[in-house]
A and B are shown apart, each in its own frame.
Chain A
């Protein structure tokens, strides 16, 4: 009856399946997109090499030419590897690793001809896509990488289905749909995958290099170098009243030790409870979203009274996290702008009076003279501030270099031009020489309000250094000598204080022609803070907070794993249920037929998509002669009902009954 020969199927493909030109071109395009952003970090020769090889491979496939011989490839690979080694002196680490990956991908391109090679290249491509995140995780980059992932997926689809006769846009469609379908899984993994503090696996040593920011020591020029940078250091959202500018001192490293030129930290034993002090007045509550700094210390308003998780505090009120901040980090803080600290320990007194011996003799002489006039610490402070205020001191980003050992002498008596670090350094030196315990505090001061988002942006240019002196009965008191020289720096920011502000990056300037552009940048920034708070800063603490906000209470990582697996299984079940419902059509005739097919499929007799009812039943009869009678009846009835001219309800019922009784 059915003369069609089912064995007449196409022969299996030959063992080495070659890539079609379309698949290869698609793959090339996706790889070029993936390497694109790396061009900013890669050496020029490597970018050029990759572009040339990609172009060459494209030319070969379009002109249908032969691939280069093996020996040439070997030479190229060796040279490229050696080039990377020469460039970075290593093959490990972020920069060298990415360079090596790029070079070897280029070489692999030149020997790619089979489907297997194509698959290898696709996975190299995903690795290249991911490595882009080591350099930047901001919104444009992530959006771009999503596009690249779609392209890479499309290339993968083209490789695996190259003989399916897909049209040009079909793989892109399919890839896009796959990405959309993956979103629920991605969200579940993002929210519920247990976050552990620190990286899950070892990252290369240099993975977080190249960040600008406040360092842990201060020499003339270290902070003024930051004055040029409009990079964001951190953002702050106040939940209580916003303190005035002259109280917005963001405390960073406290520097005790002076060697005549350089101020450095001393080892202080951190404690896991906040250092004690007596608050006076109301607290300020706020949230800090810190950009990666590759440092351990966190910033907080003077004086911090709370501790974020896994953070400790030194006696000088520095916050130290137990590992460097390599990701966007969000923490909540409480501070008291008005305070009174306690007594001075013997060690603190020693450190607070330490001075390098036999340096800056003129400054010492001056301090000694002041002390003889009036030994009261308050009087000494006022005398020093008066000196800065009344003498011809200038506030500038580009002061003359102070190279001698007696840098304080040079500054106070000769150049008299300086930035905050010069004033803080000279002031603390003067106080110590006059016998008042003093220290340098570095951090940031001020910040710009983003009206759109209602938060403050503190940029690297807001980096600042000031002084603290210890006064009997009041404890440590903040004195900012820069305020004496350039009060507008404190009240209005760097822009207002600098006469030559035209040299500043435009984000730091105010008014003028580029003001609209600056406003635009601020709008973009208010969008960014959401990304930073909810995506990049979604670390272990944020995750716990979020989950307890959802009513999960305190969850540990084990419970989180269970929740994640449950959610993923739930998703899978929901999808299966959807498929299950969709499996049966609405038409009762078709539904009965599908039931029949499902029953047979369980016995291994699967109807092929292009197999008609009679052909299928004939095959069933051939494999299972015992089913010939019922199956034949069902097949004939279904064919007549489905393709015949009339449908009688009685016949439909008969078909349903036959299927119900059918046992395979």
Chain B
């Protein structure tokens, strides 16, 4: 049974990989994020395949999928839904918004006003929404894959730190390499490929995979290592404020999922190091003396600054 599940996961990775060419690492990260029950933020320039990735993941995992295009005039009700008066029944009937789906693709989330952003982010945190005094549960599983343009693009409302923290990972796709790009140019339309993708996992299998993630063993030296990373981020002068306990938990969860994807029953320090940029990249901030340092630079400082406990 165990190998069946892992074969299915491998299949899912291969299938998504056939749509998004040459981005296997990003796909694995995205999948482990979802297996760890985390929300995913994809940050990149337009046209890099953010939407396609989200779409392909949804199809492969067999999830009910909704896409919300965020714009500056989008209102919270457009996401959550609203009660509409129906004349025949002479009552208000709730029309659920697109948020009532298992996987939401929140496209260009930083284009919407903070008010609308917070409506989505609240749903992400609570797993439920409250509309006109009534609390409604969201489906389970519930994933949000948000995409955003880099903050330097004009006309955006950057997510505040506290809301960035709701995302387990932030990943970048980046340009494809020459070989992958050639395949892309030669091949058929991506939308058609996407439409043909079969679901690789049943809902039960997805549940099982998520349950297996929490069972991945994290040995005491590994926890020492994660604690050393957190301590270093708090003590070093390179960072303004260290990583929070929530960041530590996120790191462990993501590393567990990564280990599962690689058919391991335990977490290795390499797993932590691999998910480190995606998990802490949006949670680390340079101190005032090191403002010029890029995020990848900062994560590298953190990684290189902590020795594996022996």
Is B270 in contact with chain A by the CB < 8 A criterion? yes
Q: Is there an interface contact between B274 and A643, defined as CB atoms closer than 8 Å?
A: no
Complex CA distance for A167 and B266, rounded to whole angstroms:
35
Partner pick for B236 among A8, A165, A610, A643, CB 8 A cutoff: A165
Instruction: Check B204 for interface membership: any CB of A closer than 8 A.
Output: no
Residue of B274, B300, B308 touching A9 (CB-CB under 8 A): B300
By the criterion CB–CB under 8 Å, are A3 and B25 in contact?
A: yes
Complex alpha-carbon distance, A615 and B236, angstroms: 25
Chain B 253-288, CB-CB to A under 8 Å as 1, else 0, gives: 000000000100111111001100000000000000
In the bound complex, do residue A614 and residue B268 qualify as a contact, i.e. CB atoms below 8 Å apart? yes
Instruction: Give the nearest-CB partner of A168 in chain B.
Output: B237
Q: A165-B305, A612-B273 are in contact. Are A8 and B300 (CB under 8 A)?
A: yes
Query: Inside 8 A of A614's CB, which chain B residues have their CB?
Result: 268, 270
With A9-B304, A20-B289, A645-B266 in contact, do A165 and B237 touch (Cβ < 8 Å)?
yes
Give the interface centre of A20, A165, A613, A643 by most chain B CB atoms within 10 Å.
A643
CB neighbours (8 Å) of B273 from chain A are 4, 610, 612, 615
Assess whether A611 is interfacial by the CB under 8 Å rule: yes
Contacting pair A594 B310 (CB below 8 A): yes
Task: For the complex formed, measure the closest distance between the CB of A592 and the CB atoms of chain B, giving whole angstroms.
Answer: 12
Given known contacts A165-B238, A610-B303, A644 and B274 CB-to-CB distance under 8 angstroms: no
Bound form: Cα–Cα A1–B222 in Å: 20
How far is A4 from B300 in the complex, measured between Cα atoms in Å? Answer: 11
Q: What 0/1 pattern do residues 612 to 627 of A give for CB contact below 8 A with B?
A: 1111000000000000
Closest A residue by C-beta to B220: A643
Chief secondary structure at chain A's binding surface: loop
A9 contacts which chain B residues (CB < 8 A)? 300, 304
Residue of B221, B235, B296, B297 near A167 (CB, 8 A) is: B235
B235 touches A10 (CB 8 A): no
Which of B217, B221, B270 is within 8 Å of A645, CB to CB? Answer: B217
Q: Which residues of A contact B274 (CB under 8 A)?
A: 2-4
State the Cβ distance, B217 to closest chain A Cβ, in Å: 4
Shortest B27–chain A CB gap in Å is 11
Contact residues, A1-29 vs B (CB, 8 A): 1-4, 8-10, 20
By beta carbon, the residue of chain B nearest A589 is B221
**List of A residues within 8 angstroms of B262 by Cβ:** 1
Within the complex, the shortest CB–CB distance from A609 to chain B, in Å, comes to: 4
CA A644 to CA B275, docked complex, whole Å:
19
Chain A residues with CB under 8 Å of B154's CB are none
B220-250 vs A, Cβ < 8 Å mask (1 yes, 0 no): 0110000000000001111000000000000
Interface residue from B237, B267, B303, B304 paired with A643 (Cβ < 8 Å): B267
Min Cβ gap A593→B in Å is: 8
| Chain B residues near A644 (CB-CB < 8 A) | 217, 219, 265-266
- Would you call B219 and A645 a contact (CB within 8 A)? yes
A20-B289, A615-B270 known; A643 vs B300 contact (CB < 8 Å): no
Residues of B within 8 A of A130 (CB): none
Closest chain B residue to A645 by CB distance? B217
Contact residues in B for A8 (Cβ distance below 8 Å): 296, 300
Instruction: Evaluate whether A611 and B308 lie within 8 angstroms (CB atoms) in the complex, with A643-B221, A645-B219 already known.
Output: yes
Known: A643-B267, A645-B219. A612 touches B308 (CB 8 A): yes
Q: Is A135 an interface residue (CB 8 A)?
A: no
Contacts of B306 in A (CB 8 A): 610
Cβ of A645: which chain B residues have Cβ within 8 Å of it?
217, 219, 265-266
Whether B185 is near chain A, meaning CB under 8 Å from some CB there, is: no
Contact A640 B266 (CB under 8 A): yes
B301 within 8 A of A: yes
Q: Which residues of B contact A166 (CB under 8 A)?
A: 237
Which positions 504-556 of chain A face chain B at CB distance < 8 Å? Answer: none
> Does B219 contact A643, Cβ atoms closer than 8 Å?
yes
A612 to B270, CA, bound (A): 6
A664 interfacial contact with B, CB 8 Å: no
Q: By the criterion CB–CB under 8 Å, are B237 and A612 in contact? A: no
Tell me the bound Cα distance from A615 to B267 in angstroms.
14
Q: How far is the CA of A508 from the CA of B307 in the complex (A)?
A: 65
Contact A612 B303 (CB under 8 A): no
Instruction: Give A615 to B273 CA distance when docked, in angstroms.
Output: 10
CA distance A4 to B273 in the complex (A): 8
> How does the 8 Å CB contact mask read for A589-615 relative to B, with 1 for contact and 0 for none?
010001000000000000001111111
Q: Mark A633-664, 1 if CB is under 8 A from B, else 0.
A: 00000011011110000000000000000000
In the complex formed, the residue of A with least CB distance to B236 is A165
Q: For residue A643, which residues in chain B have a CB less than 8 angstroms away from its CB?
A: 217, 219, 221-222, 266-269
Chain B, range 174-226, C-beta contacts under 8 Å to A:
217, 219, 221-222
Q: Given A20-B289, A167-B237, does the pair A612, B269 have CB atoms closer than 8 Å? A: yes
Which A residues lie within 8 Å of B222 (CB)? 643
Contact with B along A400-421 (1 / 0, CB 8 A): 0000000000000000000000
In the assembled complex, the CB of B10 is this many whole angstroms from the nearest CB of chain A, namely: 14
The answer to whether B300 and A10 have CB atoms under 8 Å apart is yes
Whether the pair B219, A642 counts as a contact (CB closer than 8 A) is yes
- A174 interface residue per 8 A CB criterion: no
Interfacial chain A residues near B269, Cβ < 8 Å: 612-613, 643
In the complex, what's the smallest C-beta–C-beta distance from B222 to chain A, in angstroms? Answer: 5
Which of chain B's residues have a CB closer than 8 A to the CB of A4? 270, 273-274
Closest Cβ of chain B to A387, distance in Å, is 85
Decide if A609 touches B308 in the complex (CB within 8 Å): yes
Chain B residue nearest to A167 (CB atoms) is: B235
Q: Does A585 contact B (CB under 8 A)?
A: yes
Cα–Cα distance between A615 and B274 once the two chains are bound (Å): 11
Which residues of B lie under 8 Å from residue A20 when comparing CB positions?
289
Q: Which single residue of chain A is at the shortest CB-CB distance from B306?
A: A610
**B72 CB → nearest A CB, Å:** 36
Residues of A within 8 A of B308 (CB): 609-612
Give every chain A residue within 8 A of B307 (Cβ-Cβ).
609-610
A660: min CB distance to chain B, Å: 20
Q: Is the CB of A585 within 8 A of B310?
A: yes
Q: Which residues of B contact A615 (CB under 8 A)?
A: 270, 273
Report how far A10 CA is from B265 CA in the complex, Å. Answer: 33
**With A and B bound together, what is the CA distance between A46 and B25 in angstroms?**
66
Pairwise interchain contact A10-B270, C-beta atoms closer than 8 A: no
Contact A590-B310, Cβ < 8 Å, known A2-B270, A20-B289: yes
CB-based nearest B residue for A639? B268
Expressed in whole angstroms, the minimum distance between the Cβ of B219 and any Cβ of chain A is 5
Q: Among A3, A165, A609, A612, point to the contact of B268 (Cβ < 8 A).
A: A612
A610 x B304 contact (CB < 8 A): yes
What separation, in Å, do the CA atoms of A639 and B222 have in the docked complex?
Answer: 11
- Bound form: Cα–Cα A639–B262 in Å: 14
| A169 CB, nearest partner CB in chain B, Å | 11
B240 CB → nearest A CB, Å: 12
Within the assembled complex, what's the spacing in Å between the Cα atoms of A615 and B296? 19
A10 and B289 contacting across the interface, CB-CB below 8 Å: no
Alpha-carbon distance A642/B270, docked complex (angstroms): 13
List residues of chain A with CB within 8 A of the CB of B300: 8-10
Q: Which residues of A contact B297 (CB under 8 A)?
A: 10
Which of B25, B221, B237, B301 touches A10 (beta carbons < 8 Å)? B301
CB closest chain-B residue, reference A21: B289
* Chain B minimum-CB-distance residue to A646: B217
Interchain CA distance A20-B287 in the complex, whole Å? 14
Q: How far is the CA of A1 from the CA of B300 in the complex (A)?
A: 19
- Please name the residue on chain B nearest to A165 by beta carbon: B236
Residues of B within 8 A of A165 (CB): 235-238, 301, 305
Q: Considering the chains assembled together, what is the distance between the CA atoms of A611 and B273 in angstroms? A: 9
Tell me, in angstroms, the Cα distance from A165 to B240 when the chains sit together.
Answer: 12
A interface, CB within 8 angstroms of B: 1-4, 8-10, 20, 165-167, 585, 590, 594, 609-615, 639-640, 642-645
Can you name 12 A-B pairs with beta carbons within 8 Å? A10-B297, A165-B237, A166-B237, A167-B237, A585-B310, A612-B270, A612-B273, A614-B268, A614-B270, A615-B270, A643-B217, A643-B267
Besides A167-B237, A610-B273, A643-B221, 4 more A-B contacts (Cβ < 8 Å) are A10-B300, A610-B307, A613-B269, A613-B270
| Interchain residue pairs A-B with the least CB separation, the first 7 | A609-B307, A165-B236, A612-B269, A612-B270, A645-B217, A165-B237, A643-B219
